[in-house]
Structures are given as structure tokens and as C-alpha cells.
Structure 1
Amino acid sequence: MADKRDLTAGPTWQKLLQLAGPMVFGIIAVISVSLIDTYYVGQLGTQELTALSFTFPVTLTVSSLAIGLGAGASSVVSRAVGAGARDDAKRLATDSLVLALILVVAVAIIGFFLINPLFTLLGATGETLALIGRYMRIWFLAIPLLVVPIVANSIVRAVGDTFWPSVVMVSSALTNIAITPVFIFGLGPVPAFGIEGAAIGTLVAWLVTVFGAFALVALREEMLDLTWPAFSVLANSWKRVLAVGLPASLGNAVNPIGIAVVTSFIAAFGDVVVAGFGVATRIESLAVIPMLALSSAIGPFAGQNWGAGKCGRVAEALRFSYMVCAVWAGVLGVFFWFAAEPIIGVFSQDAEVIGAATTYLTIVPLSIWGYGVVIISAGAFNALGRSHYGLGLYLVRTAVLYVPLSFVAAQFASSDAVFYAIAAANVLAGIAVGGFALYWLSNHPAPEPATA
């Protein structure tokens, strides 16, 4: 392995930034797709924007399957690489991709036939529900084109390369940005599809991701083992991946499920508040990119160092990441205090939508360091093969704090009070989770590597 890909030696902060730097651009690219969709759909009208806001937590939840399986693949592959077991890493990588394809096809079929009952449960009705159905039917058909490449990119990152996966993500996003308005509004022989056009543009862009990700994992990294495995070998690989991937999928799904539940609380205050909440959370997802990049970087870093028996470097990486989260949250708090309203105005001209979204962005971002601590800590535990701890950390933030506090605020106050409840949940979760993660590492030394 090239020295720059060996994460078990050299300054911890330097290795983390080496991994996270390219991921910043890749994550910007991915999240920009959601923002572009929000911008153009917002031009169609407030009702279309409301419909898209209802879809956001559901699409995130389904995408969590991919992220979780990617975490499982990255965990087992990075630990195998750190221990020097390259052949085992290739077998695990290949079997992870097969597993991802099987599972996502099943989820897509189930989701396609449950669109109306699911979104009715979330509070969508009438024309809004009809618009959601038009968008989600195409989205569910397209989702296999995203899930398998996410797992493939996770495998490439597990060997220490975050640059080329980011290039693939950027290329896909640029494709989406270029073609989405064409499908939404029409151009030349292409008719105007309206809200469906956003989903069609996403589908085409994900095709780019499929080809790029497979070129990396198969040709550049040579991480595919195309020999037909014995069923016992395949079953063992799937068991190892799912041992991490299943709790990681559930953990990643906890946050968007929490957003979906809180969206249903906020629906009581009207469609315009739902639209404002949806726009604000999309902008917030762009604002937390440095923390998302660190949560992606901590996986291969923690996995390789744990596999090499270097627990101290994992704890050092967490402390550095927590510090970055705190500084970045302070920057966001100041920035949105002055810039929230003009930014929201880009996505909607409705005064009530602007008001609700602006209120959210002047309250919540200052607390977002706590959310960063949760996702980074969970990423580290996933990489160590302790994904049940990662799931527990997400549940503390969302099920114990975020949803209950928001429910109480919604029952006895206003949408503004819900936003303050979200901020409180972030802060309390950050304190509890960060303390637990560092305490656990100080009392659980890494195992000795299996091979030199």
C-alpha cells in the first residue's frame, strides 16, 4: 500500500484532513443535488415545494440503507487492510456489493407500492399527496442506481482513497445540475415534466455514479474477486458485513425518521411552515458538510488503526474532530444570523415560508456541533465493528431527545419552540455522546493485528 494510504502512521490531524478534504467536495456535490431540486421545484409553487419537503426524510431514510451497508463494507474491508489481509478484503468487498444489490431491489419494490399510505401517515393530503406520488414513483425506480455505487465508493475509501470517489460524486452532481431544469421546465423536444422532472434528472445523474464507482473499485483498486465463492464463504461475508451494516443502516435511518416525525408535528402549523422547515433542513445539510466529511473520514481511519492495534490514534482523531465541530458551529451561528433570510429568499418568495425557515436557521445551527459529535462518534464505532453502539448514539440524540422535546414544544407552544427544542437536543446529545465515546476508548484497547 502506498504510504499516503497508510492511515496507521503520521500526524492524526493530517491524515484526517487528507481523507476529509476531498470528501468535502464530494458531499457538497451530493447535497447540491437536493438544493438544486429544491430551488427549481420551488419555482413551480409552494405546494410543489411542500410536497418535496415531505419526501426529504423518506428519501434520506431509504438512502440510509446504502450508507449503512457502505459503513459495513468499509468497516470489514478497512480492518482487513489494516491487518494486511488483502485477499480477505477483496472477497468482502465483492460480497458486499452483491448483498447491496439484492437488498435495495427489495426495498425499492416495497416502497413503490407503499407511497400513498406512507405519506398519508406523515400528514400529506389532497394535491400534495398526488404530487408526492408523481415524484416518488420515479425515485423508487432509480434508487438501485445510487445504493450500489455508494457501497462501491465506501470500499474505495476503506483502502485510504477519498479523492476519486469524490470525483465520481462531483461528476454525478454536475450532470444533475445541468439536466434537472430541462426535465422540470422542458426544452426543445423535451416536455416539461414538472415535479417528476426532478426525479428524472436524479435518475440520469445516478447512472454516471454507477459507471464511475464500478470503474474505481474494479479497475483502479482491483478490489473485486470474480471467482464464484462457496455458499458458506458468501454467507460468512454477508454475516460480517450485516453485523455492522444493519445497525449502521438503522442508525443512519434514525435521523431522517426523526425529521419525518417532527415534520408531522410541524404540519399542524400549516403547509407553509412545513415548506420552510424543509428548505431550512436542506440548507442546514449543506452547512454541516465539514462534519459529514469528518464522519466519512473517521471510518477508514479508525478501521485501519484498530486493525493495526493502535487505539490511541482513534481517540486522538475523535478529540480533533470534536474540536472542529465546535469551531464550525460557531462560524455557522454567526453566518446565519446575518445571511439566513436572503439565502432562503433564493428558494421561495412566500413570506411565511421565508419567516419559518429563517427562524430555524437563526436558532439551530449554533447547536449543530452536538449533531456532529454524534455522527462522527457513530462512524468511529461502526468502523470498529461496534455498530450497535453507533445505533445507540443515534437513538440517544433522536429517540430520547430530538423527538420527545419537539413533541412537547409542538403541543404547548409554537413552531419556534420546536426549533429551540431541536437545538437543545443537539447540545445535550453532543455532551453525552462525546463523553461516552472517549470513555469507552480509554477502557477498551484495540486487539493485536492478526497479521504483520
Structure 2
Amino acid sequence: MNDKHGLLTQPIGRVLLNMTLPNLLGILTVLGSSLVDMFFIGKLGTESLSAVSFTFPVTLVLSSIVIGIGAGLSTNLGRLIGSRNNHIAKVFLFDVMCFTLVIIAALSLLGLATIKPLFGLLGANATTLLLINDYMFYWFLSAPILAILMVGNQALRATGDTRPPAKIMMSAAIVNVILDPILIFGFGPIAPLGLEGAAIATSISWLVALSVSSYLILIKRELVAFAAFNWQRILHNWRSLAHIARPATLMNMINPIANGVIMAMLARVDHSSVAAFGTGIRIESVLLIVVMALSSSLTPFIAQNLGAGQPKRAKQALLMSLKFVFVLQTLLYIPLYFSANFITHLFTSDPLVVDWLNFYLIVIPTAYGALGMVIVFANSLNAYHQPVRSLMLNLTRLILLLLPLAALGLVLGGVKGLLVALPVTNMLMGIVSYILATKVAEPNKKQYHHASDVAVE
């Protein structure tokens, strides 16, 4: 592992472009697959669409834990690679993989045991709970597969090469798109399975992708060093991971928790608005795809440059990225405004859902430029070993601003009043994020476990 991808030496714009384009293709394929899921599930009816929408906060909480672990892994590996501690990086990755598997397997078992009370708390009715159970049973069983897959992809990105993760994600998406209609609606001797079929298709796609990922990480790239059990080393590495992973996990969990609260608010007004909100979240992921792809590239770029003692280069990349996402996402709103009604009718024909979703797509994306800056800056703070600041930024955005404004909007203007709270919050926090980014600096080394201190023996 060296600087063959130019993270430390080549022009910043060119490096980030070369890293982001494969990320963009991979994420686009996966999110496109997610939208195909919603398209087919929407054909099953509004109840099925609502059921899957209710699952988003829970699935995103588990995914957020893995994303937090991935952030800790990416930051530590980036610094280790930047400072040429390659063998330490391989042992560190081995310990993180083991930790991820244990944590997610335990949480999945807990989830399986609490499906009905958990989703009942979110506001799902008896009919919807039956559909949710069909879907989440298979999702929880395969969650450990997804976790190892996601962490492995972060390890590959930390090396500076974003092409393999993109190919892995594409393989999963292609399998899912092929299996979705077959398992949901049936084909030949295969009976229609409905929501169960959608969950099974997703699980199989993750398994196929994990097979490809394992080959690349273990055999072709040899990124993992299998180390003998040493409790002192394991605890040291887990602590180094946790320094970033704990606040990063909390940061990522806040969003699905906030979405869950909003969904619970909506469920007590109209289940059609829940279906619209859940579909809108999926569409939003596609609309913010460039932001997510660039953010995934920027974190290892900053981490490696900080590890190599180049903080000015790291900050220059951050500010350049913030300006880029703001301009791009603002310009993308223009075609979205004129195509919102067309997009809405791709997913549903229910008049109420159409009304809510169309409003969502016209109003909320007005602040996606500002939201993009929040996302990029928050993720970059992890690379700066300032995860608590990242956590506080999102706590402020979601808990102190969004939820109170959403509750006020619901009282004053119903569902549409609630939805208006989202762009207002994002605009305010986008301004705050850019101001803070201009002041960000390399932290004192006493504030974090230095990369070369990660234990090996």
C-alpha cells in the first residue's frame, strides 16, 4: 500500500475526480436498485409501500452503526497508510472485521426478537406489522453479511482505489434487480412471495457481493493479516477504532432516529404520508449521490494527507468540495422541479401519496446544496479526528432544529407544514457548516490515538 493513486502528490481536483467517479457509479447502481425495489413494492399496494417505509429508520440505525465503524476504520487506515505502517494496517483491519461481525450479529438477534413491539412503537397498525415481519425477518438474518461487506468496501477505499468497491456494489445491485420481480411476483415454478421475495432478493445480492469482496481483500490485495489472539492488542485496536466509530455511529444514527420520529408523527395523521415520506427518502438518496460519492472519497484523502503531514492540502480539498456540492446540488434542482410529477407517478397512483410525494420533491430539494455541505463537512471531521464536533453538528441540526420545527409545522400546517421544516433546517446548517470548515485545523496529537500507536503484537 503506497501513494500509487496520487492522494499525497497529484492535483487535488484530479485525484478527487478519479476517486469519486467510481464511487458515483457504484452508489448510483445500488441506489437505483433500491428505487427498483420501491417500484416493484409499490405495485403490491400502498400498505406494502407503507410497511417498507416503516422499516427505514430501523434498517438505517443498524447501517449507521456499520457506517460509524467504517468511518473509524477508514480514518485509522488512511493515517496508517499515509505514514507507511502497512502491516499494522492489515492487523487493524482483521480486528475491526471481527468486532463488526460480533456486534451486528448480536443486534440482529435482538431485532428478530423485537419486531412487533418495535414497529408498533413507530405507529404501524396490525396489517402493516404482518407485512413488516415478512420483510424484516430475512433482513435481520442477512444483516451481518451486509456489515462485513460495507466495512470491507471502506477498507478498499482507504487505500485510495475506489474502483473495486464500486464493482462490488454494482454486482449486488444487478443481482437484486434481476431477482426482485422474480421473487416478488413469481416466475414459472417460483411462487410469488411479495415483500418476503424483496427481502430474500436483497439478501442473496449481499451474499454475492461479499464473495467478490472477500476475494479482493483476502487473496488479490492481501489487505488482512490474520493475527493470533492477543487480548491487549485487540482492546488497543478497538479503542483506536472507537475513538472515531462511537461518535460517528451516533452521528449517523441521529438521522434515522429523527426520521423515525417524523414517521411516527405522520403515521398518526395519515399512513399515505408515511408511504410518501419513505419513498421520498429513497429518491433523496439518489439525488444526493454525488455528495455521498465525493464524501466517501474525501475522507481517505484527508486522512492520508494528515498522516503524511500535509494539513494545508487536506483543508484545500475540503473547501473545494464544499463549494462544488453546493453549486452542483443547487443547479440540479432546476430539472427536478419540472420532473417531480413524472417521478412521483413512477412509484404510486394513490392520489394522497401522489400529493404528498410531489410536494416532497418540489420543496425539500431546494436546500440540497446546503445539506450537501453539511454531509461533506460532518464526514470530513472524522478524518480530522474530530468526531465529537461532527456529532454535535448533527445533534444541532436534527434534535435542536429539525424536530422542534417539524412539530411546529405539523401543528400549523399539517403534513406539508412538517415537510417545510426540512429545507429550512438544512439551509441554516449549511451556512454554519461552511463557516466552521474555514476554521478547521489539524488537531493536537494528544486528542487522538496516533496511527502508529495501534498495537500489532
Instruction: Give 1:328's aligned residue.
Output: 328
Listed one character per residue, the Cα deviations across residues 95-117 of structure 1 (whole Å, up to 9, x for unaligned) are: 11111101110110111111111
Instruction: Give 2:13's aligned residue.
Output: 13
CA distance in 2, matches of 1:50, 1:34: 15
Instruction: Give 1:179's aligned residue.
Output: 179
Amino acid at match of 2:434: G
Note the residue ranges of structure 2 that are not aligned, 5 or more in a row.
none
Q: Matched residue of 1:183: which SS?
A: helix
Instruction: Give 2:283's aligned residue.
Output: 283
Instruction: Give 1:244's aligned residue.
Output: 244
Change (3 A) 1:159 1:98: same
Deviation of 1:418 after TM superposition, in Å, equals 1.4
What is the correspondence of 1:249-288 to structure 2 with a 5 Å cutoff? 249-288=249-288
Q: Matched residue of 1:364: which SS?
A: helix
Kept in 2: contact 1:41–1:195 (CA 8 A) = yes
Kept in 1: contact 2:322–2:377 (CA 8 A) = no
What is the correspondence of 1:55-74 to structure 2 with a 5 Å cutoff? 55-74=55-74
Instruction: Give 2:364's aligned residue.
Output: 364
Using structure 2 for the length normalisation, give the TM-score: 0.95
CA distance in 1, matches of 2:375, 2:216: 26
Deviation of 1:335 after TM superposition, in Å, equals 1.6
Amino acid at match of 1:179: L
CA distance in 1, matches of 2:345, 2:451: 54
Kept in 2: contact 1:370–1:430 (CA 8 A) = yes
Deviation of 1:436 after TM superposition, in Å, equals 1.5
Amino acid at match of 2:287: A
Deviation of 1:220 after TM superposition, in Å, equals 2.5
Tell me the C-alpha RMSD between the 2 structures: 1.7
Deviation of 1:243 after TM superposition, in Å, equals 1.5
Q: Percent same amino acid among aligned pairs?
A: 35
Amino acid at match of 2:283: I
Instruction: Give 1:117's aligned residue.
Output: 117
Kept in 2: contact 1:311–1:445 (CA 8 A) = no
What is the correspondence of 1:19-168 to structure 2 with a 5 Å cutoff? 19-168=19-168
CA distance in 2, matches of 1:30, 1:247: 26
Deviation of 1:365 after TM superposition, in Å, equals 0.7
Kept in 1: contact 2:340–2:358 (CA 8 A) = yes
CA distance in 2, matches of 1:17, 1:390: 24
Q: Matched residue of 1:423: which SS?
A: helix
Kept in 2: contact 1:146–1:209 (CA 8 A) = no
- Of residues 11-20 and 38-47 in structure 1, the stretch that sits farther from structure 2 once superposed is 11-20
CA distance in 2, matches of 1:43, 1:136: 19
Deviation of 1:385 after TM superposition, in Å, equals 2.3
Q: Matched residue of 1:440: which SS?
A: coil
- The answer as to 2:376 corresponding to 1:376 is yes
Instruction: Give 1:347's aligned residue.
Output: 347
Instruction: Give 2:410's aligned residue.
Output: 410
Kept in 2: contact 1:308–1:449 (CA 8 A) = no
Kept in 2: contact 1:280–1:358 (CA 8 A) = no
Kept in 2: contact 1:405–1:421 (CA 8 A) = yes
Using structure 1 for the length normalisation, give the TM-score: 0.96
Deviation of 1:449 after TM superposition, in Å, equals 9.2
CA distance in 1, matches of 2:6, 2:15: 9
CA distance in 2, matches of 1:116, 1:335: 41
Listed one character per residue, the Cα deviations across residues 171-207 of structure 1 (whole Å, up to 9, x for unaligned) are: 0100000001111111122111111111000000000
CA distance in 1, matches of 2:259, 2:350: 23
CA distance in 2, matches of 1:221, 1:390: 32
Deviation of 1:338 after TM superposition, in Å, equals 0.5
Deviation of 1:269 after TM superposition, in Å, equals 2.8
Listed one character per residue, the Cα deviations across residues 224-270 of structure 1 (whole Å, up to 9, x for unaligned) are: 11131421111111111121112111111111111111111222331
Listed one character per residue, the Cα deviations across residues 364-423 of structure 1 (whole Å, up to 9, x for unaligned) are: 112012221122112211122222222122212211222221111112222111121100
Amino acid at match of 1:151: V
CA distance in 2, matches of 1:419, 1:331: 21
CA distance in 1, matches of 2:249, 2:364: 25
Q: Matched residue of 1:44: which SS?
A: coil
CA distance in 2, matches of 1:271, 1:240: 44
Kept in 2: contact 1:57–1:257 (CA 8 A) = yes
- Of residues 153-162 and 368-377 in structure 1, the stretch that sits farther from structure 2 once superposed is 368-377
How many residue pairs get aligned? The number is 450
Over 3 Å off, 4+ runs: 1-4, 443-451
